[in-house]
Chains A and B, each alone.
Chain A
């Protein structure tokens, strides 16, 4: 506090002494900067560390007053027991199936459509693009009731196709691919055409390799979104054989309220695939997330 007061006084002095006072000011600024940065990092990390620690406790320790920072013994079985008492392996597998299929489908459909909307001139293109933009801002909450009725009339309740198909293709995916492919020069395409290459060949061999950054980002972003999607599976999956991790975990909490250490353990396990992806592709993901800002 006193330091800052002194610096304030320094401001009103002549320019020469201002330069002299810069050193402590810079030091003070640095300290303040790191203080704030470390404080916010602590805010992020402490709840996570507490969750990891709690996942190894006994139920009694978790509820103990005052709060218990570390478990007395490390109960690793919290990570295995839920796989016996509930079909967590199945939930996990279901999440992998649904997220992978949804991502694959979206990548295929969105890159094809994005290419056409970026590079082809055809009648009705602006109408199609209008539909894409409209669906970009349409959240599932608006259509959830009719979407349920449509899926129901297709006989897709409690099926993988019911979980995957209605939410797989996104306006965001098409928009992202279009915007990226727009930046690819036409020369390659024209040259391939003159050589007599088919449109599909041009798409697979020229456009996709050049649009790889957007393709890859969309894949990761969509996998994340699909992995954590909650509202649609909640509506559509009410049998254990089909439930993804999101629903299985929430049901587990409702059934075994006091099994909190196991719940912590399973919550952490549900994060692992995404965190692994994050560690591997951090730069690409951070870039992709900025692109996803376009989503709004």
Chain B
């Protein structure tokens, strides 16, 4: 993906004055311009990542000096039930929301990818929740999910008793997934719309002349040509969901009975509430590993497709 862009970056050798002096000049300026960024990324991204790796071999509670425990934290992690449950919960959230939000976004994008009146209005409305800070939405929806509040009032004809959305072990995660779909569909819709615009209109015209039904032209034209976009959206949705934190802390704080304790919440709790810094760092490294694998899978898939 990046290789092709790299080619653009290499300037063709300028005809005049491409001597050693100019290269030095470029080098000095290049480093000077990059230096502030390197300072910030180095101090606040690279160094903390290695620090996390180092910390994961220690027991550290902020009060006493760090104590080397070797692989102790990782071994403890392997026997830590809550950690595995958090992994499973995170997987539930990641897959559960992606499986629903991607088809919803695709459907909306397909509907809006044609000249219909009010198109811009629909698009703006669908996207608007992305412009609302997640913490305020989480607080509002926390109330909206109350047993006698809006959601259950709307579902009343379908229910015989109100659903205790956020306080029931089985409903808490679906509730958080629904909020993610409500908010995220508009965003992924935009990505799909951008992908749909790259499909040449002639293909549809040819399909139409051949007498293809809308469904047939979707199957034969849209779906195969949109595949890179779809894979891309799936990957982004999964990575974003994997990092979810705000709604979990604000709406359920991991409850009830740890039913919504996802990985990022567990790291926060272990490291910054219980001050088991080393143990939390080991969890962070495990999380990093999953992200690296997800990203590599994403690149591999995209490279194959693109």
A149-B277, A169-B41 known; A67+B52 contact, CB < 8 A: no
Q: Are B27 and A122 in contact (CB under 8 A)?
A: yes
A112 to B29, CA, bound (A): 10
Contact B148 A182 (CB under 8 A): no
Contact of B9 among A18, A182, A275 (CB under 8 A): A182
Interface string of B265-281 (1 = CB under 8 A from A): 00110011000010011
On whether the beta carbons of A147 and B48 are closer than 8 Å, the reply is yes
A246 to B246: give the CA distance in the assembly, Å: 10
- Is A141 in contact with B263, judged by CB distance below 8 angstroms? yes
Across the two chains, which residue of chain A brings its CB closest to B188?
Answer: A293
User: Which residue in B112, B124, B144, B277 is a CB contact (below 8 Å) of A47?
Assistant: B144
CB neighbours (8 Å) of A5 from chain B are none
Q: Is there contact, CB below 8 Å, between B51 and A41?
A: no
**CB nearest to A50 among chain B residues:** B150
CB distance from B49 to the nearest CB of A (A): 6
Count of residues in B whose CB is under 8 Å from the partner chain? 104
- Any chain A CB within 8 A of the CB of B211? yes
**A46 close to chain B: CB less than 8 A:** yes
Q: Is the CB of A296 within 8 A of B37?
A: no
Q: Chain B contacts of A40 at CB under 8 A?
A: 108, 126, 185
**Pick the contact of B239 from A54, A108, A296 — CB < 8 Å?**
A296
Q: Which residues of A193-238 are within 8 A (CB) of B? A: 194, 199, 203, 224, 227-228, 230-231, 234-235
B139 and A166 form a contact (CB under 8 A):
no
Q: Which residues of B164-188 are within 8 A (CB) of A?
A: 182, 185-187
Size of interface on A: residues with Cβ below 8 Å to B: 104
Complex Cα distance, B152 from A65, in Å, reads: 11
Cα A67 to Cα B52 in complex, Å, equals: 49
Please give, as numbers and ranges, the residues of chain A lying within 8 Å of B34 by CB-CB distance: 112-113, 116-117, 125, 128
CB of A121 within 8 A of CB of B191, answer no
Tell me whether B21 is interfacial, beta carbon within 8 Å. no
Given contacts A44-B125, A45-B125, contact A147 B44 (CB under 8 A): yes
Bound-state Cα–Cα, A103 to B125, Å: 26
**A137-B295, A144-B271, A182-B8 given as contacts; is B47 within 8 A of A150 (CB)?**
yes
Across-interface contacts of B135 in A (CB, < 8 A): 228, 230, 246, 249-250, 270
The A interface is mostly helix, strand or loop, or mixed, namely helix
In the complex, A34 Cα to B121 Cα: how many Å?
13
Q: Smallest distance from the beta carbon of B157 to chain A beta carbons, Å?
A: 13
Q: Which residues of B contact A (CB under 8 A)?
A: 2, 5, 8-11, 14, 16, 23, 26-27, 29-31, 33-34, 36-38, 40-49, 51-52, 55, 107-108, 111-112, 116, 118, 122-137, 139-144, 148-150, 153-154, 182, 185-187, 190-191, 194, 211, 213-214, 232-233, 235-236, 239-240, 242-243, 245-246, 249-250, 263-264, 267-268, 271-272, 277, 280-281, 284-285, 287-288, 291-292, 295, 298
Other CB < 8 Å A-B pairs besides A50-B150, A116-B30, 15 of them? A44-B125, A47-B144, A116-B33, A121-B26, A132-B37, A134-B46, A138-B49, A146-B51, A171-B41, A245-B133, A253-B250, A260-B143, A263-B139, A271-B133, A293-B191
Binding site for B on A (CB under 8 A): 11, 15, 18, 29, 33-34, 36-37, 40-41, 43-47, 50-51, 54, 62-63, 65-67, 108-110, 112-113, 115-125, 128, 131-135, 137-139, 141-150, 165-169, 171, 174, 179, 182-183, 186, 190, 194, 199, 203, 224, 227-228, 230-231, 234-235, 245-246, 249-250, 253, 260, 263-264, 267-268, 270-271, 274-275, 277-278, 282, 285-286, 289-290, 293, 295-296
